[in-house]
Amino acid sequence: MNSSYCGIDFGTSNSAFAWIAENKATLARLEGGNTTLPSAIFFHTEKTGSSFGRAAISDYLNGYEGRLMKSLKSILGTSLMESSTELLGSALSFRDILTQYLTEIKLRAEESTKQEFKNAVFGRPVHFVDNDDLADKKAESVLSKVAQAAGFENIEFQYEPLAAAFELETRIATESLVLVADLGAGTSDFSLIRLGPNNMQKLDRKGDILANAGIHIGGTDYDKVLSMKKIMPELGLGSMLIGQKTIPSTQFINLSTWHRIPLAYSRKSMAHLAQVYSGSLEKNKLNKLMNLVRKREGHLVALEVEAAKINLTSNSSVIVPLENASVGLDIPISRVDFDDAAQELNRKLSETIKSLLASANLSPQRIDAVLFTGGTSSIPSVKNRISALFPASKTYEGDLFGAVALGLAIDGKRKFR
């Protein structure tokens, strides 16, 4: 019997939608044969309407006139959520942008499955905002209102790492104490949970959750540190101004941070950049930065950095091809460069896990298994750093981009049946 409820993993980088078909959690196809939809919208200036996902990124790279918005989930929990951005000559609120994206997911999933969905369990990180409970609750409330505006009537939430654990629970034979490491594009969440075949039908799983913790670090942060280490110095980061002052870093941070890239194109930022340029001692580098901003190629550079990060998971070195862009040169990056840039992020992930174990009064030896899910878990230095904390534990790898959505659909069966 098919369901009228679903699980939605609204991700920073990619999103997925799952439902129960013939008593089994199943991923819906959202873009061609793909079960993920990149969290991106391209607003066209030459035609009405927008493109989404891979099509949005393709339109941007193919040079269509318009504006690319990517990593949309990163806006939740920030002050940007209450503001607007200029699109096609008018202001459009970030809430409306998120609503457009979730509406598109709903329409595509319903077309793919031939079902109508009014009930949804949305995944959420353990912390949308670190160390700020009020801001965290507000972020969840905003996402709930956006989901309602997109056409969902009854909305529940579940922690994303727990959802990933529900999917694993269908595959293990004996009760186990599992650390779920859900390493996404925007956040990293960790949960200690007892899993087993006798627990699956429980409506209330609170007793099986020993502890959870999260930190606002994800794949986009690894993009950022890699860009700041290898790309932005070619555009002037670290160079000097007259008077032996270092050039301000704000513009470089904007261009290295997915959801902040549009800020680099504002009139205020452009005026400040012109002022910085006049006092720069390395105008050849600042010329590249000025050209990049004028041509609005920030997302182009960020996409190439993201591709380099992904390719470095299986290669010892890569070339970031920016010869034909405003940067004007191809930039080599090695795995060693990446590991070095990622050291502080990896340390923070490790410390978060250690604090989680301490809060549960557990030693690493008590953990039976570690479940990795989320695209960031494919970064070698990340997985190695976490695995080293649990040398005696089994390791499992869920569907990196679908496990959470599948688990949310399983949870929906309990919540909405």
Q: How far apart are CA 266 and CA 245, in angstroms?
A: 24
How do beta strands 154-159 and 331-334 pair?
Answer: unpaired
Cβ neighbours around 206 below 10 Å, total? 6
How far is residue 31 CA from its own chain's centroid?
18
Q: How far apart are CA 272 and CA 210, in angstroms?
A: 50
Q: Which two tokens stand for residue 377?
A: 């878990």
Domain that holds residue 190: 174-218+344-398
The reported pTM is: 0.82
Residue 108 sits in the same domain as residue 61: yes
259 located within any domain: yes
pLDDT of res. 88: 67
Residue 322 sits in the same domain as residue 350: no
3-state secondary structure of 157: strand
Residue 22 sits in the same domain as residue 117: yes
Handedness of CA 101, 166, 160, 341 (dihedral sign): negative
User: 37-56 in b/e burial notation, b at 16+ Cβ within 10 A?
Assistant: bbbbbbbbeeeeebbbbbbb
DSSP assignment of 271-323: HHHHHHHHTBS-HHHHHHHHHHHHTT-HHHHHHHHHHHHHHTTT-SEEEE--T
Q: How far apart are CA 204 and CA 226, in angstroms?
A: 42
Closest alpha carbon to 339 in 220, 253, 225: 225
Q: What is the 3-state secondary structure (H, E, C) of 17-67?
A: EEEEECCEEEECCCECCECEEECEEEEECCCCCEEEHHHHHHHHHCCCCEE
166 located within any domain: no
How far is residue 15 CA from its own chain's centroid?
9
**Residue 11: partners with Cβ closer than 8 Å, 6 or more residues away:** 39, 73, 184, 185, 186, 401, 404
Q: How far apart are CA 145 and CA 379, in angstroms?
A: 34
164 located within any domain: no
Q: How far apart are CA 180 and CA 15, in angstroms?
A: 19
370 located within any domain: yes
187 located within any domain: yes
Report yes or no: 7 and 19 within 8 Å, Cβ to Cβ. Answer: yes
Side chain identity at 330, as an amino acid letter? Answer: D
Residue 187 sits in the same domain as residue 282: no
Q: How far apart are CA 234 and CA 245, in angstroms?
A: 18
Residue 298 sits in the same domain as residue 385: no
Q: 269-276: which pairs have CB atoms within 8 A and are 24 or more residues apart?
A: 269/293, 272/248, 276/241, 276/247, 276/248, 276/251
Give, for 226, the enclosing helix (H) or strand (E): helix 219-226
Would you write out the chain's pLDDT as a tens digit for each of its 417 residues? 455 899 999 998 899 999 999 888 999 999 999 999 999 999 998 766 899 999 999 998 888 888 888 888 888 877 777 777 777 677 788 889 999 999 999 999 999 999 999 999 999 988 888 778 888 898 999 999 999 999 999 999 998 888 888 878 888 888 999 999 999 888 898 999 999 888 877 767 777 889 989 898 999 999 999 999 999 999 999 999 998 899 999 999 999 998 899 899 989 999 999 999 999 999 999 999 999 999 999 999 999 999 999 999 999 999 999 999 989 999 999 999 999 999 999 999 999 999 999 999 999 999 999 999 989 999 999 999 999 999 999 999 888 889 999 999 999 988 887
Residue 117 sits in the same domain as residue 11: yes
pLDDT of res. 1: 42
Domain count, the chain: 3
pLDDT of res. 203: 67
360 located within any domain: yes
**Residue 215: partners with Cβ closer than 8 Å, 6 or more residues away:** 127, 130, 187, 188, 348, 349, 352
Residues comprising the chain, all counted: 417
Residue 224 sits in the same domain as residue 277: yes
